[in-house]
């Protein structure tokens, strides 16, 4: 497999970050649209603009969670994800809404 999304060349274009480091940079706001994150199995995730960084962060966190569950590691859900509180990126929410069957 190739890139999840290929962006324009930039400072970080040649540097492909490991998953945890990519998440850390996205969470601290030290990443820009040139970020590339190794999702494993030859998949490198990137974005085409700064407005897509939140979506990339959500995908990266989701992948990390799936990997932790697959490795039977303990998983602590963040408090903001508990008790019927959704924390979906608007684009993800739109996709899920589109997949719901019509009444």
pLDDT at 6: 41
pLDDT at 13: 53
pTM value is 0.63
pLDDT at 9: 40
Q: Is residue 38 part of a domain?
A: yes
Helices (H) and strands (E) in the chain, counts: 3, 2
HSE-up of 71 (CA within 13 Å, CB side)?
9
Instruction: Calculate the alpha carbon distances from 95 to 6, 64, 74, 89, 91 in Å.
Output: 21, 21, 29, 10, 6
Distance between CA 51 and CA 7 in Å, rounded? 13
Q: Is residue 12 part of a domain?
A: no
Q: Is residue 72 part of a domain?
A: yes
pLDDT at 10: 42
Q: Is residue 88 part of a domain?
A: no
Split into its structural domains, the chain has a count of 1
Give, for all 103 residues of the chain, the pLDDT tens digit: 344 544 444 444 569 999 999 999 999 999 999 999 999 999 999 999 999 999 999 999 999 988 988 888 887 766 555 556 556 677 777 877 777 777 6
pLDDT at 78: 62
């Amino acid at each position: 497999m190739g890139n999840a999304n290929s962006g324009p060349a930039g400072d970080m274009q040649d540097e492909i970050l490991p998953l945890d480091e990519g998440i850390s940079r996205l969470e601290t706001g030290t990443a820009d649209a040139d970020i590339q994150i190794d999702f494993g199995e030859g998949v490198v995730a990137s974005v085409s603009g700064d407005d897509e960084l939140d979506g990339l962060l959500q995908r990266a966190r989701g992948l990390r969670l799936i990997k932790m569950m697959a490795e039977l590691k303990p998983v602590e859900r963040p408090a903001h994800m508990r008790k019927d509180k959704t924390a979906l990126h608007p684009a993800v929410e739109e996709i899920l809404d589109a997949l719901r069957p019509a009444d």
